Each structure stands twice: as structure tokens, then as C-alpha cells.
Amino acid sequence: MLQLRCPAQNYAWGRKAGRNNGKIGSTVAALVEGAGGEVDNEKPYAELWMGTHPSGPATVEGAEGQTLSSWIAANPSALGSVGSLFGSDIPFLFKVLSVETALSIQSHPDKALAERLHAKSPDVYKDSNHKPEMAIAITDFEALCGFVPHQELTEALKSVPELRDLIGDVAASAVETTGSKAALKAAFGILMTAEASKVATAIKAMESRLKAIQKSGERPLTDKEELALRLNKQYPQDVGILSAFFLNLVKLQAGQAIYLAANVPHAYISGELVECMATSDNVIRAGLTPKLRDTAVLCESLTYERGPPAILNGNAVPGRPWTTVYSPPFDEFEVEHVLIPEKARFEGIQTYLPENQGPQIFVVRSGTGQAYLRNPPSDAQSKVLQKTILLKTGSVVFVPAKTPVKLEATDDGLDVWIAAVNPQVFQDGRLLAAKAVEVVERDATSWLLYLAVGLLLTLLWAKYTNNLEPIQKLFNKLLTQGSSVKQPT
């Protein structure tokens, strides 16, 4: 195992470290402080990056600033067989997020689009890789994700007249009557590319109308109306506020997760979460952001699938107590949660990380304990690995492929999140070709060994049964025949 030092990103939407009764508000800030880092109470702590992405690379503790990626380059066996599938790097980027104000309305390109965008504007789209992602709530968490079902959108077009006015009657009626993806795409495109002054006028009108409803007590505001007012405080008169009526509002409790395939619009709104994604930082933004917007690319690339996203509640792992696994339909990663409760001594305070065929990274959210290598292997790579690591809030550990690890909690319990390559890549045959080569190599070596042992045993038998002479004659005959062929007559 290697202990890592991981960088925090202080994006403006992050939660400030600021303390309430000595307790830090932002989970990211708490992890930074737990790991011995300096925390500035006035700064937002938005994301902790645990991986090899060049925009926020982890370094190896005690290795004079050596990055994890350069360590892996020197020890490629740490990736196991997944290197043949994903290249010479960890295929996932693991994060913790503390969201105070909404993130941008965004989507992530698929592989083909990512390659095109990166080739065209490498300064904006820094990676040629896609970025499927999964968000697991660790507190109450809200997000906008994917387009609402047809019925919900037609109701929004009725109940939010300012939205209908902005889109225009033709496009709004097309949505209502046909319910087609083309009509949805056209209406969403008109909204997202509307002139800023018209958007501002519409939002001002909506704000006055909603505030009048609130004041009169005529009815409670809907969740979406309440959200629109909240977003307007964070990003005044931004078109992203109106786009919220096109998108599903998802409220998760701690322990629930959503995953996002390519080209699905989304925006995280508030809460603390653990996030995992394919190693990439490609984001196409179109609202609720001071950063560059690429509205045309976003509107063109979305899939316009409708309906609420699937919610993962995690699955228990047979034979591994305290463990829940979240497995999205992506190759690059899955995430496990190990939660050993306080004073669990009676039920057991130990659990195992499985011997994974690929690399793993884990982070301790709270509690204390230790991680051990179960059977430290004796090859060169393992000599530089730490065999025991003391765990506390903020500890981040890299576990190379095929390295079984045991976690043990103290009476404080232990709350650990683990990212690993999705085991589906080892099961469905794509890595079979690589395995088959290994098997053939091993077989050839074994046969040579069997042949040598067989020859030795024959010679021993011949010596002890005085049959050495005929065998010597046989050898001599073979040798003279061989040389007679080679020598010119």
C-alpha cells in the first residue's frame, strides 16, 4: 500500500471550511485537515481529487513529491491486467465533493465526441477520454439529472407562463402535442440560446409571481418553484434557472447514488458526496456558471432520453461484513463503502478488501484503525510498499493490483470509501485474451521443466541399474549423425 497526499480544489461553489461549534462544515475541508493539511476557514473546499489526473495529481507520502502516476510508470505491475484495457494509468478518478451552491448545468461527452472536442479545443477540453460518473450521497443531496417525463414538461409549460413565452407557442405546442425527442430538443435549444435580456425579463416576472404566491399563502410553492427562487439567489437571472423545469429534480438520502452516462444533462445542487468517474475532466457547460459555456455543443450532443434516473441503494457483499457495493454499468470503476460502527468489537472489527485484479484507492471519512497487507508478496515492487498504515479521517491509500488488504477498526469505528475497477471487465471476456497469453507462456515454461526433470530421472535410473552405457552409445550415435550431416565430405 502507499499512503497518498491528495489536493483539494477550492471552486467557488464549494462549502466553506468555517466551523460550527468546532466542527468543520465541508467534508472536503475536514479530510484535508485530518490528513494534516492547512485549512483556511474563509475558503470554499469543493473537491478532493484522489487519482492521477494532471489537473490534481496525488503524490506519494514520504516520496519527496513523487506523483502517483510516476510511481505507477516505474511499477506498471501495480495496474495488474487492466493496463491492457485502459492504458498505463488508473482508469478512474475518485473524488469527495462538498456542494454549497449549484454546479453548472453540464454534460460529459462520449468517447467519440471527447476526441473531436479535444482535437479542436485542447485548452477547453483537456482530455480525449469520456467521463461517465457516479455520485453517492453521504448527506442529504439534491441534483438535477436527465429530462423530465413528457407529462411533467407539458405541466411545467402550463404552470410557468414565463417559460412558455420565452420558448414561443410553436415550439411549446410541438412539445405538448407530439411529445417527440425532436420537439424536446428544439424547445430546449430555444431556451438555452435565448437572448440574455429576454431570459432576465422572464426570470424577473417569474420571481415576482412566485413571491406573490408565497406572500398570499394561496398554496405552497412546488419543489421546482422553490428551487428556481434559490438558484436565482445564487446565479441571478441565469438561463440555468429556467432549464431546471426541463430536468428531473432528484433528492437522495445518505447511501443512495445516481450514475450519469455520456450526454445526459445534470447539475448537482447541494450536499456532500463521494464521486467516481473515468479519468477525465471534460465538462460541457451551458448554465449556472461563470465559466465558459458551450451551449451549441451541449444542445447538439444530448440524447434527450426522458424519465427519472435509476437510483442505486448499494448491495451487500456476501462474506464481507459492513460492506456495500455500488456498481454502475461502466467498466472504469465501482465504489464500495465499508462502515464498521463504533464499539463493534462484539460483532467483529475487521473486514477484508478483496484481492482485486486492478488497482484500488480508498479514503477514510471518519474513525480510526489500521490497514494491513494480508500476505505481503516478496517481489521488488512490494519492498517499497507499506505493510501497515494507521488510518484516521482523511487518510487516502493506494492499493496495487492483486494486493489483499485487511481493515481493522478501533472502538471509534471506521467509515471507508473504496474505488476499484468494475469487476465486470474481468468477467465478460474482454480480458480473456490477455489471460490466454499468460496461460500459454506458463504452459511452455512448465513443459520445459517437465522435460528436464524427466531427463534427469532417466539418467539417475540408468546409473543405478547399470544401463548408462547403452544410453551413452545412443547419445554418441545421435551426435556423430548430427555432425556428419553438418561436415562437408
Q: Tell me the catalytic residues.
A: 285
Distance CA 276, CA 337 (A): 13
Distance CA 471, CA 120 (A): 74
Range 351-379 burial, b when 16+ CB lie within 10 A, else e: bbbbebbbbbbbbbbbbbbebbbeebeee
Burial class (CB in 10 A: 0-12, 13-18, 19+), 446: exposed
SS (H, E, C) 22-38: CEECCHHHHHHHHCCCC
Q: Which residues contact 316 (CB under 8 A, 6 or more apart)?
A: 323, 324
Q: Which amino acid is at 264?
A: V
In the three-class reduction of DSSP (H, G, I as helix; E, B as strand; rest coil), residue 347 is classed as coil
- Measured in whole angstroms, the distance separating CA 332 from the mean position of its chain's CA atoms is 8
In the numeric block, which cell numbers belong to residue 58? 496525488
Q: In terms of DSSP H, where are the helices of 348-465? A: 380-383, 424-427, 432-464
Distance CA 403, CA 353 (A): 9
Residue 104: DSSP 8-state: P
Q: Are 14 and 47 in contact (CB under 8 A)?
A: yes
Residue whose C-alpha cell reads 540408468 in the numeric block = 462
Distance CA 471, CA 475 (A): 6
Distance CA 444, CA 147 (A): 56
In the numeric block, which cell numbers belong to residue 329? 454499468
Q: How far is CA 183 from CA 105, 122, 241, in A?
A: 20, 33, 21
Q: Which helix (H) or strand (E) holds 71?
A: helix 68-74
Q: Are 334 and 354 in contact (CB under 8 A)?
A: no
In the numeric block, which cell numbers belong to residue 276? 467516481
Q: Are 175 and 154 in contact (CB under 8 A)?
A: yes
SS (H, E, C) 283-320: CEEEECCCCCCCHHHHHHHCCCCECCCCCECCEECCCC
